[in-house]
Amino acid sequence: MLISLIGLPAVGKSTIGRRLARQLGVEYADCDALLEQRLQCRIRDFFEAEGEERFRDAESALLEELVAGSTGVLATGGGIVLRPTNRELLRRRTMCVYLKADPEALLHRLRRDTKRPLLQVPDPAARLRQLSAEREPLYREAATFEIDTRGKSLQMLVDAIVRAMPDAGTPVGVAGRAPS
């Protein structure tokens, strides 16, 4: 089984993904880190030089490769859900976990961030609220289930994902849908 993690920037996809993979004893992959290796530059630099559309093309190609017969844990970029084909891949080929967080709660993590290109704007708080409003329906469309991260420790979040795994005996579908 491939478990994918989706959600807003700074929600903890990479941190939770590493811990979850370690706990399950499976491989871990981080889409953003793999893209930077493949592109041979930082995502922010690629965005500036080539634009968002070219970045999304590279991101989609990588996702397609990663879900082809893979097992393990995959931390995605926050905008992976922008393309319908990506949402379909996540929904059909992974146990897709939407890590839900209030944008205001993420702001303190992002106050000194310089690597996320979409948040390098005069008002990052307004931009994060906008991203949340635009992407929440897309995250929900792709997700097998969602976990509200508010007030939960890292280990509590990892344990919730483990409990929701189909072979753990707990029904999958907090958001109402089992993987197909």
For the segment 88-115, what is each residue's pLDDT rounded down to a tens digit? Answer: 999 999 999 999 998 888 776 666 655 6
The amino acid present at 115, given as its one-letter code, is K
- Number of Cβ within a 10 Å radius of residue 32: 21
E-strand ranges in the chain read: 2-6, 28-30, 72-75, 95-100, 145-148
In whole angstroms, how far apart are CA 6 and each of 40, 81, 121, 122? 24, 8, 23, 26
CATH topology of domain 2-168: Rossmann fold (3.40.50)
Domain boundaries, the chain: 2-168
**What tens digit of pLDDT does each residue of 142-166 get?**
999 999 999 999 999 999 999 998 7
Stated pTM of the model: 0.86
In whole angstroms, how far apart are CA 90 and each of 60, 67, 72, 103? 11, 8, 13, 23
- pLDDT score for 107: 75
